[in-house]
A and B are shown apart, each in its own frame.
Chain A
Amino acid sequence: MDSALNIIVVEQDRERAMLIVDALREAGQMRIQVIGSGVGLARRVAETRPDLVLIDAGDPSRDVLEELTLAAGPMERPVAMFVDRADQGLTRAAIEAGVSAYVVGGLQPARIHPILDAAIARFHLFARMRAELAATKAALEERKVIDRAKGLLMRAKGIGEEEAYALLRKTAMDQGKRLADLAQAIVTAADLLR
């Protein structure tokens, strides 16, 4: 008997999808199919007849899968969101990592655990990457605002770049403010007064 599990990973981003698939393969024998989260998702999931569906908890298409959990849904086997009462820890870990699992046909918890563990680890990595990207973007934005504030000071006071920056830093320190916040206040005020 073929006991390899059929798993669907719903993920639009190919690169992320491949990373998830790689992580899952290490967790055991299974057939994995990746489908995008766009239009027609419910139909494609139903056609593939999976045992388990994994999806980013923040994907808007989750509500489409939710529809499959209804008794009269297009799947013959019942689908449930994975909430293992015996293992609150695993459920919480999945929520924190931002991965949702939909279990089809009452799959044994023992078979789900290793897969979900692998998925959780991978999604944690994604969350870290996302946080780093956001931090980099924010730093870049702050840089731009500080540069604009510097430029405004240089023009208004007829001073050089270094002097303008020193003035910004000193004022921020004196007022107990973040440099970026002070710069934003100057830029906003200047926009208003324009």
Chain B
Amino acid sequence: MFNLIWKDLFIQKKLILLYLAIIGLYFWLGTPLFWLAFITSISFIMNAFYYDEKDNINILLNSLPYTRKQIVTSKYIGAIIFTALFIGVIAGGSFIINGMESPFSWKGVLQTFGLVMAWISLIFPFFYKFKQQYLVIGGIIFFVIAMLSFKAVIHLLKERFGEVVQWFIGLSDLQLYSSASLVILLLYGGSWLLSMRIYERKVF
């Protein structure tokens, strides 16, 4: 199964420079590290998914000695591994440029994982359910939202949901992060099971 995860990296080997360039650009723009890691990880994961759909790769994979469970599982485990890789690269890059001034904090790491996993939990079952054209549309929408929304979302949260945010802020970091982690882990597990069920029934 790790062959399948390695495959997702391998098929994008020519894009790795592009990803590094994007990371450099965002450094220059001063984007928060956790947000940068989130965007690059998601782009990478979704792009691998898109390649598989575009070229009938599901027919190939399902004809090779892999089970459908393994094929889905490789995407869910791969997502975590690739996110960790991007966090590593970005943290390394940040250290080289800024030294220890504004490092990738453990909170930032958790935020990135949380966002990636939440996003995947919601989006993967749809991807498995629907066809390629929806994937492209979904990808474009994601990018537009990701570009525009970061500050707007924070602003909106502060304005409209002040009380909720206050309540959250009232929680200690430990309480906040551990409960959020738990929720996201449950969501991720549920999504994984759902995707497997959808994929098992898929016809090629």
Q: Do A and B bind each other?
A: no
